[in-house]
């Protein structure tokens, strides 16, 4: 099942390159993503994550290097074909809304893709219920609360039934429960449909759930690996403006306070387990 | 500066077919010098409440007292300049706040508008850009040619440059990287203490609410349903669940630890540092070999 769905080959991109020498927003970045993977893309503010997302859906084209999606090189010619299977949720949902009502907005990409009306209606309904926004289907998307806007933007991407879903901080304004629900929904979709997910996030608890993390720093790819491997780099991450998941921070704080924990824990359950063992042995 | 909401109701697009009620009978007291966190589910009315704190929205029912200014439903409010100068709001989406050609002009706009001399306004802008960890050279860029987190920092700088007495923050850390989040929340807290500000924070981070606030207000379906101290609010898990909320991670871990070991830590641990200290103490007392 290991087939490549997206790759960057030595991609460099500079905004306004004509204005003279500025640091590239994305500098010589390469990676390969396989079908069905869940990737977290993390990095400090301005490290190039959203630029990478825009290169992935052909909103921007590299100055150097190649972007390949679904086996085709991204270009003016392949762009529309690629986009019909690619769902994208931008950092600010307001920039993304096109419909006058929530349901029109969610239906927009489907109409563009020529989905028959009856199917469309059903998918819009399904997508809105997946994000718990059916009650708002006749509302104007710009006149919603911050979290409601993000839910609608996510519904728009889900309704397309994409093969590849790119989320650019798509849950940053959801309450913790809402965020877990959305992550759970996408996780289920992934299991049932083989969806590939690339999630850009500052939430390291969320990144810890991914199969693989790509870490950006100053426009360059700095690290790539499983959450356990990436988070074991500790101070290297904090030096880049990042942090560790809560359970790992707690492990370190407890060790500093004199509790002799032996292992690094990524989850609270495991941490409590070791604390209990440690305590009951004493 | 003290702010008081009494019986406040608000409907968007009132008296049109699109009328949408967002607030019902909200009573909220924000004492001068307090740090209040407002928490609540998506759509519960938090941002709507915040926009009443500087009369950007006027109540369709009830009264808002901002210092000694009274804003009353159905009564025209004249000259809100002073209110706007005293109460600075950082909006939920930074794009709502940015508009000028360059970052420098954008940050200087507020102070200039309220009569601060040009030199002083520019000094503040240059200092804030550094304090907020923005990269060099950002001052001459368009605020729209920035990354999401950089825009957020510029929007915050623009509000701090006005040196308001009341600082109102609508999810100010959304989009910030982890270091920026901590540094900027610490900066707000430092300003709160040293400049004796009144601070109101809307956040989905129960951890930030627990760490920084001295009062918590819970919004639920357009009503302010509970107010209280963080320790009382966050140790009542059942009540939080009623409003689709949960305690901060440190409190949940404390609960799991206590259930598992049978030890009791005594106080509810609002931050991870306090929790680590309390667990270490309890394990030492309880016979754990340290
Ligand atoms: N439209 C633009 N014009 C010029 N420069 C830009 C533009 N958009 C972004 N940049 C710059 O490119 C760099 C990378 O920005 P990008 O938006 O990719 O960062 P990011 O990793 O998504 O950051 P954040 O976490 O803040 O969203 C930053 O230095 C930013 O200032
Ligand atoms: N401009 C608007 N026009 C009409 N209705 C609105 C508008 N803005 C918000 N609403 C509605 O008012 C209610 C309260 O919204 P508000 O933005 O205050 O919520 P919130 O608590 O800030 O939510 P979030 O955590 O998602 O930001 C919601 O039901 C929302 O749909
Ligand atoms: Mg970004
Ligand atoms: Mg809001």
Residue A20: band (very low, low, confident or very high) from pLDDT cuts 50, 70, 90: low
Q: Where are the domains of chain B?
A: 3-247, 248-290
pLDDT digits (tens, 9 = 90+) for A62-98: 999 999 999 999 999 999 999 999 999 998 898 889 9
Top-level class of domain B3-247 = alpha beta
**What HEC string does B134-198 produce?**
CCCCHHHCCCCCCCHHHHHHHHHHHHHCCCCCEEEEECCCCCCCHHHHHHHHHHHHHHHHHCCCE
Asked if A14 has any chain B CB less than 8 Å from its own CB, the reply is: no
A56 and A138 together in one domain? yes
**E strand or H helix at A271, and its extent?**
helix A268-281
Name which of A95, A241, A258 is nearest B179 (Cβ-Cβ): A241
Q: Confidence band (pLDDT; 50, 70, 90) for A2?
A: low
Entry pTM: 0.95
Model pLDDT for residues B126-176, shown as the tens digit of each residue = 999 999 999 988 999 999 999 999 999 999 999 999 999 999 999 999 999
For chain B, give the longest Cα–Cα distance: 70
Q: Do A44 and B177 touch (CB under 8 A)?
A: yes
d(CA B161, CA A188) in angstroms, rounded, equals: 46
Averaged pLDDT score across all residues of chain B: 95
**Residue A28 within a domain:** yes
The answer to whether residue A237 is domain-embedded is no
- Beta pairing, strands B215-220 & B35-40: parallel
Residues A31 and A149 in one domain: yes
In the prediction, which pLDDT does B290 show? 41
Residue ranges making up the domain that contains A276: 245-282
In angstroms, the CA A276 to CA B106 distance is 54
What are the distances in angstroms from CA A13 to CA A17, A39, A65, B180, B242? 9, 21, 9, 25, 49
- For the Cβ of B150 lying below 6 angstroms from any atom of ligand 1, the answer is yes
Asked, for residue A240, whether it belongs to a domain, the answer is no
d(C-alpha A189, C-alpha A7), whole Å: 23
Q: Chain B within 8 Å of A268 (Cβ-Cβ)?
A: yes
For residues A3-9, average pLDDT? 97
Query: Residues B111, B114, B119, B120: what is their CA dihedral angle, to the nearest 10 degrees?
Result: -60
Question: Are A224 and A258 contained in the same domain?
Answer: no
In a domain, A173, yes or no: yes
Q: Tell me the pLDDT tens digit for each residue of B76-119.
A: 888 899 999 999 999 999 988 999 999 999 999 999 999 999 99
B147/A45 touch (CB, cutoff 8 Å), yes or no: yes
Which CATH number covers residue A28? Answer: 3.40.50.300
Say yes or no: A267 and A213 in one domain.
no
Give the distance between the most distant pair of CA atoms in chain A: 68
Nearest CA to ligand 1 atom 18: A48
Whether residue A282 sits in one domain with residue A190? no
Report the Cα A189 to chain-centroid distance in Å.
15
Q: Indicate whether A25 and A143 sit together in one domain.
A: yes
- In chain A, the number of structural domains is 2
- Tokens 């087939």 locate to A3
pLDDT digits (tens, 9 = 90+) for A177-232: 899 999 999 999 999 999 999 999 999 999 999 999 999 999 999 999 999 999 99
Chain A CB contacts of B142 under 8 Å are: none
Would you say residue A280 lies in a domain? Answer: yes
Residues 6+ apart with CB under 8 A from A173: A146, A147, A149, A150, B42, B92, B171, B174, B204
Whether residues A183 and A268 fall in one domain: no
Pair type for strands B215-220 and B198-202: unpaired
B20: Cβ below 6 Å to ligand 2? yes
Q: Please work out whether the CB of residue B278 comes within 6 Å of at least one atom of ligand 2.
A: no
Same domain, A114 and A66: yes
Give residue for tokens 């009306």: A117
**C-beta of A15 in contact with ligand 1 (< 6 A):** yes
- A137: in domain: yes
Q: Which of B38, B57, B97, B178 should we substitute to test contact with A (largest number of A Cβ atoms within 10 Å)?
A: B178
What is the spatial distance between Cα B166 and Cα B66, in angstroms, rounded to a whole number? 10
Report if residue A238 sits inside a domain.
Answer: no
pLDDT digits (tens, 9 = 90+) for A126-146: 999 999 999 999 999 999 999
Ligand nearest to the CA of A25: 1
- A255 within domain boundaries: yes
pLDDT above 50 for B289: no
Same domain, A224 and A271: no
Residues in A 123-182 with any Cβ partner in B closer than 8 A: 139-140, 143-148, 151, 169, 172-178
Q: How confident is the model at residue A17 (pLDDT cuts 50, 70, 90)?
A: confident
For residue B203, give both structure tokens: 């956040």
């Amino acid at each position: 099942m290991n087939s490549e769905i997206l790759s960057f080959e030595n991609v460099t991109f500079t905004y306004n390159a004509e204005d003279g020498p500025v640091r590239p927003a994305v500098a010589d970045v390469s990676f390969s993503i396989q079908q069905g993977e869940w990737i977290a893309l993390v990095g400090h503010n301005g490290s190039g994550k959203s630029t990478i997302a825009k290169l992935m859906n052909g909103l921007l084209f590299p100055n150097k290097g190649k972007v390949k999606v679904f086996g085709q090189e991204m270009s003016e010619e392949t762009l529309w074909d690629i986009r019909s299977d690619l769902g994208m949720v931008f950092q600010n949902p307001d920039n993304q809304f096109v419909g006058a009502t929530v349901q029109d907005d969610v239906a927009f990409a489907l109409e563009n893709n020529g989905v028959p009306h009856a199917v469309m209606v059903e998918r819009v309904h399904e997508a809105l219920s997946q994000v718990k926004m059916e009650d708002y289907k006749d509302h104007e998307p710009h006149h919603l609360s911050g979290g409601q806007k993000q839910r609608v933007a996510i519904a728009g991407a889900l309704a397309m039934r994409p093969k590849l879903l790119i989320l650019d901080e798509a849950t940053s304004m959801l309450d913790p429960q809402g965020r877990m629900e959305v992550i759970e929904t996408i996780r289920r979709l992934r299991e049932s449909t083989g969806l590939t997910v690339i999630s850009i996030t500052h939430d390291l608890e969320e990144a810890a759930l991914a199969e693989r993390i790509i870490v950006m720093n100053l426009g360059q790819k700095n690290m790539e690996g499983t959450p356990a491997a990436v988070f074991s780099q500790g101070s290297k991450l904090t030096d880049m403006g990042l942090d560790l998941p809560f359970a790992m921070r707690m492990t370190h704080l407890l060790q500093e306070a004199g509790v002799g924990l032996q292992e690094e824990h990524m989850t609270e359950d495991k941490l409590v387990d070791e604390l209990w063992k440690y305590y009951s042995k004493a | 500066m003290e702010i008081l909401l009494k019986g406040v109701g608000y409907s968007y697009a009132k008296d049109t077919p699109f009328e949408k009620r967002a607030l019902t009978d909200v009573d909220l007291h924000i004492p001068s010098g307090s740090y209040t966190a407002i928490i609540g589910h998506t759509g519960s009315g938090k941002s709507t409440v915040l926009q009443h704190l500087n009369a950007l929205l006027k109540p369709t029912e009830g009264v808002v007292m901002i210092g000694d200014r009274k804003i009353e439903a159905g009564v025209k409010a004249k000259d809100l300049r002073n209110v706007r100068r005293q109460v600075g709001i950082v909006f939920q989406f930074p794009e709502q706040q940015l508009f000028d050609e360059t970052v420098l002009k954008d940050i200087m706009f507020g102070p200039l508008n309220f009569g601060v001399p040009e030199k002083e306004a520019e000094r503040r802008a240059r200092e804030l850009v550094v304090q907020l960890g923005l990269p060099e050279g950002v001052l001459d860029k368009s605020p729209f040619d920035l990354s999401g987190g950089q825009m957020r920092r510029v929007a915050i700088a623009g509000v701090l440059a006005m040196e308001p007495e009341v600082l109102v923050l609508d999810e100010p850390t959304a989009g910030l990287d982890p270091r920026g989040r901590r540094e900027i929340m610490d900066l707000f807290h430092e300003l709160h203490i040293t400049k004796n500000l009144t601070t109101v924070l809307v956040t989905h981070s129960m951890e930030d609410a627990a760490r920084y606030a001295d009062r918590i207000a819970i919004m639920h379906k357009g009503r302010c349903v509970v107010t209280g101290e963080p320790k009382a609010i966050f140790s009542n898990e059942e009540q939080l669940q009623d409003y689709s909320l949960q305690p901060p991670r440190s409190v949940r871990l404390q609960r799991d630890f206590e259930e598992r070991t049978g030890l009791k830590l005594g106080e509810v641990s609002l931050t991870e540092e306090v929790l680590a200290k309390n667990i270490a103490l309890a394990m030492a007392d309880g016979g754990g070999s340290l």
